Amino acid sequence: MTARIYRPSRNAMQSGNAKSERWVLDFAPDHAKGVDPLMGWTSSGDTRQQVKLAFDSKEEAVTYARANGIPFELIEPKDPKRRTISYSDNFRFNRVGQWTH
């Protein structure tokens, strides 16, 4: 069972970056989840899916995985590209596109 080491993306519903600065180690599922025949709930016999470890840096997570013999996949984060715009650009003389007021 391989582990994934990644930095979670920020919540799309919030403007802050809470819980997105730490690195997370969690395990990929070994097999698909099944449906319980009596209650109809989704279940799995794999308890490693419940384990999620948080680290302050990527190096700490990689060191932990190597020290415990856990095969891992390192997923590098994609930082968003910020586009700087200004309100005064709406009124520029050489503006591309028509003003619609």
pLDDT in tens, 73-87: 999 998 778 778 788
In a domain, 57, yes or no: yes
In a domain, 16, yes or no: no
In a domain, 64, yes or no: yes
Measured CA to CA, the distance from residue 78 to residue 60 in angstroms comes to 20
Our CA angle for 42, 47, 52, nearest 5°, is 105
Measured CA to CA, the distance from residue 65 to residue 52 in angstroms comes to 13
First to last CA, the chain: 59
* SS3 at position 58: helix
In a domain, 93, yes or no: no
Question: What CATH number should be reported for the domain holding residue 1?
Answer: 3.30.160.190
Task: Tell me which of 94 and 40 has the higher pLDDT.
Answer: 40
- The boundaries of the domain holding residue 27 are 1-10+21-31+38-77
In a domain, 66, yes or no: yes
Report the share of the chain in percent with pLDDT over 70: 96
Measured CA to CA, the distance from residue 98 to residue 101 in angstroms comes to 9
In a domain, 42, yes or no: yes
Number of domains, the chain:
1
Pick from 30, 26, 25: nearest CA to 46: 30
pLDDT in tens, 40-50: 898 888 888 88
pLDDT of 21 > 80? The answer is yes
Q: What is the pLDDT of residue 20?
A: 81
